[in-house]
Amino acid sequence: MRTEMDTLAQFDDAVAAGGDLSRAVLQSLDLRHRDDALRTCRVDGALVLGCRLSEEGAQILRAGGALLFPRLPDAPLNTYRAHLYTPIDLFDTYPTGTYEDSLDARGYAWTRGAAGEPSLDQQLAESLHDHAIAEALDDYLDMVDPVQVVGVMGGHALQRGSEGYAATARLGMQLALAGKLVASGGGPGAMEAANLGARLAPHGPQALAEALRMLATVPRFVPSVDDWAKVAFEVKAQFSGGSDNLGIPTWFYGHEPPNVFASQIAKFCSNALREDILLKRCRGGLVYLPGAAGTVQELFQAVTGNYYAEDPSTITPLVLVGVEQWTRTLPAWPLLSSLAAGKPMADAIRLVDTVEEAGEFLIARVARR
């Protein structure tokens, strides 16, 4: 087994313990001031991913038999990133700069620049980045009971100030207060509302009501992402701290900025990979709010895994919110019910009319396990 090191403290501890790095993976470390330590280490076979090195340090590692994977110079994203993003990582120009110059916007422009005919080096960079983010997400979720991770799926078009937005925020708070880690697609609309409610759970309903009032002054991220994000940062400043929660957005939909209420953000270049990871990590259940094609796609992607599951304990509960939405507007429920008939997944699906019912079902289900 290789030992992964993504902090200088881990590196220094390994050096103090004898300096055997022959089975180590050093990821995104700034080793420019560790040349003396590197001289004392055994490094044959070590993998050095995107670390900052002095020229002498690089020579020491190469001479010792380490494999060096340098940063790719044209990529604005760190392709060997060792940790998940935070909102301020992506909105790195705030509060004085503009979204247009932020890392998030630069990342979108970079991925869009390759649309149609991405070069080999760009494909490699995007794959390396997404692999690193997936690893960082797994490290983060290793600290969480998988059946306590609940995903809230819904469209980006749900506006601040609407009853649907407020209801989704209340769902996020309800789940967080029950000890769930709330995850969303990480974008605006219903996704933002779920992360908002979860984040403000320790502050209570009155704080959420005030936050909703503040956010309603800028209902959408168009025409100005800056105005939309600014009021969100103001809410965070007024209600500091809060419950940990997760956003999993993608630069594929980069015209939709990530919301700033997710405390941890796993942002991917590949939307297909992002969706697969999001759905598979939410073992505690998935709530499907009214949405359009993307929400329907996510629903049946999860249904497929449940349908073919051989072990009932691996089935993810699915809750559809809105009887009218899922039986008439987009009649997914009749098809889902037919697929579930006679299979173990039948006990794990529900159609409800309110988000409160959705939360109660998932909370009660985990309690019975």
How do residues 125-144 score in pLDDT, each as one tens digit?
999 999 999 999 999 999 99
**What is the average pLDDT across 280-299?**
93
Residue, of 123 and 1, whose pLDDT is higher: 123
- Residue 185: the pLDDT is 95
Residue with tokens 């313990």: 17
**Tokens in use for 212?**
């909703």
Look at residue 347 and tell me whether its pLDDT is greater than 70: yes
Answer for the pair 316, 283: CB distance below 8 angstroms, yes or no: yes
- Residue 117: the pLDDT is 73
**What is the average pLDDT across 346-361?**
96
C-alpha distances (whole Å) from 348 to each of 56, 200, 272, 319 are 59, 29, 25, 8
Dihedral of the alpha carbons of 253, 130, 136, 265, in degrees to the nearest 10: -10
What is residue 201's DSSP assignment? Answer: G
29-33, 207-211, 308-312, 358-362: least confidently modelled range: 308-312
Whole-angstrom distance, CA of residue 22 vs CA of residue 218: 54
Whole-angstrom distance, CA of residue 7 vs CA of residue 23: 16
Q: For 149-171, write each residue's pLDDT tens digit.
A: 999 999 899 999 999 999 999 99
Look at residue 368 and tell me whether its pLDDT is greater than 70: no
Whole-angstrom distance, CA of residue 36 vs CA of residue 323: 67
Look at residue 1 and tell me whether its pLDDT is greater than 80: no
Residue, of 115 and 106, whose pLDDT is higher: 106
- Residue 91: the pLDDT is 98
- Residue 366: the pLDDT is 66
Look at residue 22 and tell me whether its pLDDT is greater than 60: yes
3-state secondary structure of 247: strand
**What is the average pLDDT across 41-67?**
97
Domains of the chain: 3-69 (no CATH), 144-368 (3.40.50.450)
Q: For 313-336, write each residue's pLDDT tens digit.
A: 899 999 999 999 999 999 999 999
% of the chain residues with pLDDT over 70? 98
**Tokens in use for 166?**
């407020």
Strands (E), the chain: 3-5, 24-27, 47-49, 67-69, 149-153, 181-184, 246-247, 264-265, 285-288, 318-321, 349-352
Look at residue 115 and tell me whether its pLDDT is greater than 90: no
